[in-house]
Amino acid sequence: MEHPLSIYNTLTRKKEQFVPLHEPHVGMYVCGPTVYGDAHLGHARPAITFDLLFRYLTHLGYKVRYVRNITDVGHLENDADEGEDKIAKKARLEQLEPMEVVQFYVNRYHKAMDDLNVLPPSIEPHASGHIIEQIEVVKEILDNGYAYVSEGSVYFDVERYNKDFKYGKLSGRNIEDMLNTTRELDGQQEKRKAIDFALWKNASPEHIMRWPSPWGNGFPGWHMECTAMGRKYLGETFDIHGGGMDLVFPHHECEIAQAVASCGHEAVRYWMHNNMITINGQKMGKSLGNFITLDEFFSGNHASLTQAYSPMTIRFFILQAHYRSTVDFSNEALQASEKGLQRLLEAAANLDKLTPSATSSVELGGLRAKCFEAMNDDLNSPIVISHLFDATRAINSVLAGQATISEADLAELKEVFKLFLFDILGIKPEQQAEGGNNEAYGKVVDMLLQMRIDAKANKDWAMADKIRNELTALGFEIKDTKDGFEWKLSK
């Protein structure tokens, strides 16, 4: 099997040829959402980035097991509610069972992902369903001497670990700097050093998410679930681990330490990180309170939005930037994406209207190869899209009767569009109208436009313009063609 794909490995800070450990199988783990609120635009970025990777690896012929977790046990909050995790806090506020909160937001997350045409992962494990596995890893680390028990909690001994291995290799930190700069946090006296991190946390009496363990009732530490679940489903060593750049430190750094401390070697071969989405130049994030949820984008119901943006517009917007660049949100940028996407989808639809000629006057110029080349270069989706726009011009020229295309070239274009636009980039044509009475409704529009044709035949321009203007005002896009007319809903 060839290995055409290069990906940027955060660990080495270089693009590397991707060669799976157990070809043709690929193991891929991506940090999923903490389900204590609705998914926002920031959550769409990794989901779409790694969906692109999942789709592409599959197209290259790999058999991919894609694991994306659901974090439903915690992560402590840093505000006044000391020691209470996010899910538990939300549950108390809403007087619900924690798992009820989890289920509610998982359902909504799935819906949003489905709208974005993000394929479901192969396995979507819940942290709460893998407490036993996590306890086992904690035990191993304790047995190997890289952790200590303190007041019912277990902490990772970073200094001890750093004597045998290097802590900080992923994020480029060294332990001396961190010992000097780590801030004092909420009186964690039970930790020996500020840089030590929790493997298992003792639960205070009011803490409602808790499980029995050898160290008392509690819950797993912040980074343990990915180590335990990645190993369970992908093995002690697997190919790809992905997530947002903001997880590089401490989350992924701690995962590396946990893996090495428990089984003596690293688990992950390629670390991949998507960059952030910014708003006014700043990261869009939960803690900054500057996020816009996906549902708000889809409905347009947010003060910062001048209109609604469809899921495909959001997807296309994200794919128009390379995944390692920040992408800045603005209404202008989103509107540009919306129009560009429409143009591409229109061209894709136009392919079925083209009549082939004996020869081509348009030059495809190795379109398919160029698209593969771009994908192989660390998933350069913006370049793929630019090639598709080039093809769009060719398609429209033929449609306008200003160029010709051969049967073979037409077939090639159809295949390339299907392969790249729909299968790999994961764009799907958006539904034009909803409801069960589409046929009758369409016929009414046809009838109005037929009346307009009649008016035009009588040179009754006033009537012709009135029909067109009013339909336009209602959101229809009217085109006159040589045979009559075409229409569609403009959004």
Partner RNA sequence: GGUUCCUUGGCCGAGUGGCUAGGCACCGGUCUGCAAAACCGUUUACGGCGGUUCGAAUCCGCCAGGAACCUCCA
373-412 binders of RNA (CB under 7 A): 377, 380, 382-383, 385-386, 389-390, 392-393, 396-397, 399-400, 402
Query: Which lies closer to RNA via its Cβ, residue 78 or residue 304?
Result: 78
* Residue 373: CB minimum distance to RNA, A: 11
- Please report whether residue 182 would count as binding RNA according to CB under 7 A: yes
Applying CB under 7 A, among 83, 152, 235, 285 the residue interacting with RNA is 285
In 3D space, the residue among 359, 272, 282, 366 whose CA is nearest the CA of residue 46 turns out to be 272
Which of 114-122, 138-146, 249-257, 434-442 is the region at the interface with RNA (rule: CB under 7 A)?
249-257
Applying CB under 7 A, among 274, 293, 360, 376 the residue interacting with RNA is 274
Residue 80 to residue 49: CA distance in whole angstroms: 35
* Residue 418: CB minimum distance to RNA, A: 19
| Angle between helix 461-473 and helix 438-457 axes, rounded to 10 deg | 150
* Residue 416: CB minimum distance to RNA, A: 15
Contact by Cβ (8 Å): 478, 471: yes
Binding string, 324-343, against RNA, x = CB under 7 A? Answer: -xxxx-x-xx-xxx-xx--x
Residue 181 to residue 195: CA distance in whole angstroms: 10
Query: Which lies closer to RNA via its Cβ, residue 440 or residue 473?
Result: 473
Residue 136 to residue 152: CA distance in whole angstroms: 16
- Please report whether residue 432 would count as binding RNA according to CB under 7 A: no
- Please report whether residue 245 would count as binding RNA according to CB under 7 A: yes
Residue 376 to residue 432: CA distance in whole angstroms: 34
Residues 445 to 474 in contact with RNA, rule: CB under 7 A: 456, 461, 464-465, 468
Applying CB under 7 A, among 145, 433, 477, 484 the residue interacting with RNA is 477
Task: Name the DSSP class of 127.
Answer: G
Query: Which lies closer to RNA via its Cβ, residue 57 or residue 334?
Result: 334
Q: Please compute Rg for the chain using Cα positions.
A: 27
Signed CA dihedral, 67, 244, 76, 259: sign only:
positive
Beta bridge partners of 71: 34
Query: Which lies closer to RNA via its Cβ, residue 25 or residue 190?
Result: 190
CB atoms within 10 A of CB 346: 15
Applying CB under 7 A, among 1, 21, 132, 185 the residue interacting with RNA is 185
- Please report whether residue 355 would count as binding RNA according to CB under 7 A: no
* Residue 61: CB minimum distance to RNA, A: 25
In 3D space, the residue among 335, 223, 328, 240 whose CA is nearest the CA of residue 10 turns out to be 240
Applying CB under 7 A, among 9, 322, 367, 445 the residue interacting with RNA is 322
Residues 119 to 138 in contact with RNA, rule: CB under 7 A: none
In sequence order, the 6+-apart residues with CB closer than 8 A to the CB of 368 are: 412, 415, 416, 419
Residues 18 to 47 in contact with RNA, rule: CB under 7 A: 31, 33-34, 42-43, 45-46
* Residue 63: CB minimum distance to RNA, A: 26
**Tell me, what amino acid is at 237?**
T
Main-chain phi, psi angles of 390, to 5 degrees:
-60, -45
In 3D space, the residue among 15, 10, 11 whose CA is nearest the CA of residue 380 turns out to be 15
- Please report whether residue 415 would count as binding RNA according to CB under 7 A: no
